[in-house]
Amino acid sequence: MTATTLSVVTDNTDPPTDSIVVCSETDAGEFSTDNADESETATARPAKARAQYLDPNDLVIGENVRVSFALDDHPAEAESIRRFGVRNPILAERHPDGSIEVVDGQVRALIARAVGATQVPVWVTDAPTGVADNERRIARTLDQINLNDRRIPLSEADRAAGVALMLDLGASATRVANGLQRTRSEIRQAATIGRSATAKQLLDDGQYTLEQLAVIADYEAAGDTDAVQELTRATRYQFGYVARRIAADRTETRDRLHAALPYAATGFGTLTHEPDLSSEPTAFIPAADLTTTDGSPVGEHQIYADPARWVVFLEVEENAELVDASSGELVDPGTVSWDTDPDAAPGEGLRHADTVRWRDRWTPTYYLLAEHLSDSGLTLVTSPDINDEQARASIAAEAAARETSRQEYRRVRELNKRGVAAKQRREEFLTEYLTRRKPPAQAAGFIATYLAGQLDASTVQLVTKILGIGHSRQELQTAITESPVNRVWVIVLAMVLATYEAPIDKSFWRARSSATTDYLHLLAELAADSGSDFALVDVEHAAAGDIDHHDIDLAA
């Protein structure tokens, strides 16, 4: 290959306009293509650029989209630069203070430093003036992402961080999407991930989808480390379920804190989680486990007399209260006309169902802080001061029963919440899965087994008869299990057709129904398609509504 050379020029001299540099280090006065790797992408001379050889240690490695670079990860590039020098010139800008900052070629400059190179070819342009700093940085980041993807590809984490940087600098999602040939949705997700150290690390691991990583990043941005830890412990396939469960829990916690505001204003401490008395018996004492000095149960009068000694936990009872949709006042369900059509007036003395709504009820449980027990004037119901051993045992048993009941209720509540999250995830999966055009192989057997279980005894007899497979439901199930997929679909069809055929009796010609019409017309179509000599006769045409039974010629 003929070498194209370019002499180093002074600051006020432009190099030849047709020069393209892909060079190794030769004499200090030239850029040369000798020994150039043909697979490398050549760097075209930027407008008004000056070709110079510079010490890589004198170059400023400024803000760059690539941050996760390790020299050991690129031994081939390092060996090439060690042997031949930098062949593809670095792009840099000279700032008014004289510093030269790398715009493109950070990796080449860093490798050159590491291998001890003293000169590297650089295209130097003057840093633009009159351009806002954020605009300059946005443009540079776009260029860096696109250029680097054509050489040593950026890590997904670096790309996401670059997207986040551009949006933070004021670039619109549309502008970045167009610049990187991505959708706006992908850009927004990448920006969310790029702001999260955890999500960026997981992105390069390839364990989670962009949507899942964006969820992790949102929780990290909110400072919810518990959610981040729980989500990062979940597998990719459990992620949707865990994420929905966490989201429901956080929503309930926010609602609980909102409901607790009046109690906090009164002076009570509020709990976001119900205390586990089995592990925290000395921290919180339920009011139900306390008595006054005269042995009376502790009521709200004593509690509200000194709220600073108490904390409250609010338990939710979903859709427990009926309230006026506008005012929020409680409504007696017996005063509502539940069966009224939306556009009809309610019954006399009743109100329309559209004027009410159900809401959750928050029930307080009060706990005395154990540190205040001694000066509260209250006593534990299981106090050793009670002399009657039998009474003490009875009181202790009642307290244990209450705690067992409370723990069981808590378990039911928690498992129900998990059940809701699991149901939401199943419906999400079904919605996604059923966009397919072709049923899976398992569908035939599943549907056939389901239908076989729904048939009454007489229909089972008819199905097995027309299929010629015996007489029992068990024989029908065996045929389903042992048949190939296409035959199973025929069995499914047989069961559906039998459910239409079974109720038809000898007088069917006089009782028209849409079901019978559809069934008989289908049989006619199936016969025609298969070349069978079956065809509907007069009474069948009458039952199908094709003719009036009075018009049937009885002499024919």
Task: Tell me if the domain spanning 6-154 has CATH number 3.90.1530.10.
Answer: yes
> What is the distance between the alpha carbons of residues 352 and 335, in angstroms, rounded to a whole number?
9
* pLDDT reading at 384 higher than 70: no
> How would residue 257 be classed by pLDDT, with cut points 50, 70 and 90?
very high
* pLDDT reading at 442 higher than 80: yes
Q: What is the per-residue pLDDT for 154?
A: 65
> What is the distance between the alpha carbons of residues 476 and 464, in angstroms, rounded to a whole number?
7
Q: How many CB atoms lie within 10 A of CB 252?
A: 16
The conformational region for residue 98 under phi > 0 = left, psi -120 to 50 = alpha, else beta, is left
Residues 6+ apart with CB under 8 A from 221: 192, 195, 196
> What is the distance between the alpha carbons of residues 132 and 134, in angstroms, rounded to a whole number?
6
Q: What is the per-residue pLDDT for 21?
A: 36
> What is the distance between the alpha carbons of residues 488 and 472, in angstroms, rounded to a whole number?
17
Instruction: Give the range among 299-313, 345-359, 401-415, 475-489 with minimum mean pLDDT.
Output: 401-415
Three-state secondary-structure class, residue 30: strand
Among 272-286, 335-349, 440-454, the range with the most confident prediction by mean pLDDT is 440-454
> What is the distance between the alpha carbons of residues 290 and 296, in angstroms, rounded to a whole number?
9
Chain centre distance of CA 495: 40
Among 20-34, 363-377, 415-429, the range with the most confident prediction by mean pLDDT is 363-377
Instruction: Give the range among 140-154, 254-268, 506-520 with minimum mean pLDDT.
Output: 140-154
> How would residue 266 be classed by pLDDT, with cut points 50, 70 and 90?
very high
> How would residue 43 be classed by pLDDT, with cut points 50, 70 and 90?
low
Domain chopping of the chain, boundaries: 6-154, 254-419, 442-551
Q: What is the per-residue pLDDT for 104?
A: 81
Written as six digits, the tokens of 145 are 């992402």
* pLDDT reading at 524 higher than 90: yes
Three-state secondary-structure class, residue 368: strand
Chain centre distance of CA 350: 44
> How would residue 70 be classed by pLDDT, with cut points 50, 70 and 90?
low
> What is the distance between the alpha carbons of residues 63 and 144, in angstroms, rounded to a whole number?
10
Smallest Cα–Cα separation from 76: which of 115, 102, 22?
115
Q: Which residue has the higher pLDDT, 72 or 236?
A: 236
> How would residue 63 be classed by pLDDT, with cut points 50, 70 and 90?
low
Helices (H), 195-329: 197-205, 210-221, 225-233, 239-266, 300-305
* pLDDT reading at 97 higher than 50: yes
Percent of residues, the chain, with pLDDT higher than 90:
35
Three-state secondary-structure class, residue 299: coil
Asked whether 82 and 122 are in contact (CB, 8 A), the reply is: no
| Average confidence (pLDDT) over 397-402 | 77
Chain centre distance of CA 376: 49
| Average confidence (pLDDT) over 394-418 | 80
Instruction: Give the range among 211-215, 407-411, 483-487 with minimum mean pLDDT.
Output: 407-411
**pLDDT tens digits for range 274-327:** 887 766 556 898 898 898 888 889 999 999 999 999 999 999 888 889 999 999
Asked whether 310 and 303 are in contact (CB, 8 A), the reply is: yes
**pLDDT tens digits for range 128-185:** 777 777 776 776 677 666 655 555 566 777 788 888 888 888 888 898 888 887 888 8
Smallest Cα–Cα separation from 53: which of 119, 98, 124?
119
> How would residue 35 be classed by pLDDT, with cut points 50, 70 and 90?
very low
Smallest Cα–Cα separation from 228: which of 210, 206, 202, 248?
202
Q: What is the per-residue pLDDT for 489?
A: 95
Q: What pTM, to 2 d.p., does this model score?
A: 0.54
Written as six digits, the tokens of 47 are 């407008």
Three-state secondary-structure class, residue 546: coil
Asked whether 124 and 52 are in contact (CB, 8 A), the reply is: yes
> What is the distance between the alpha carbons of residues 463 and 491, in angstroms, rounded to a whole number?
8
Written as six digits, the tokens of 282 are 């000395």
Residues 6+ apart with CB under 8 A from 24: 32, 34, 35, 36, 84, 85, 86, 87
> How would residue 390 be classed by pLDDT, with cut points 50, 70 and 90?
confident
Q: What is the per-residue pLDDT for 44?
A: 61
Instruction: Give the range among 28-42, 312-326, 488-502 with minimum mean pLDDT.
Output: 28-42
Backbone angles phi, psi at 336, to 5 degrees: -105, 135
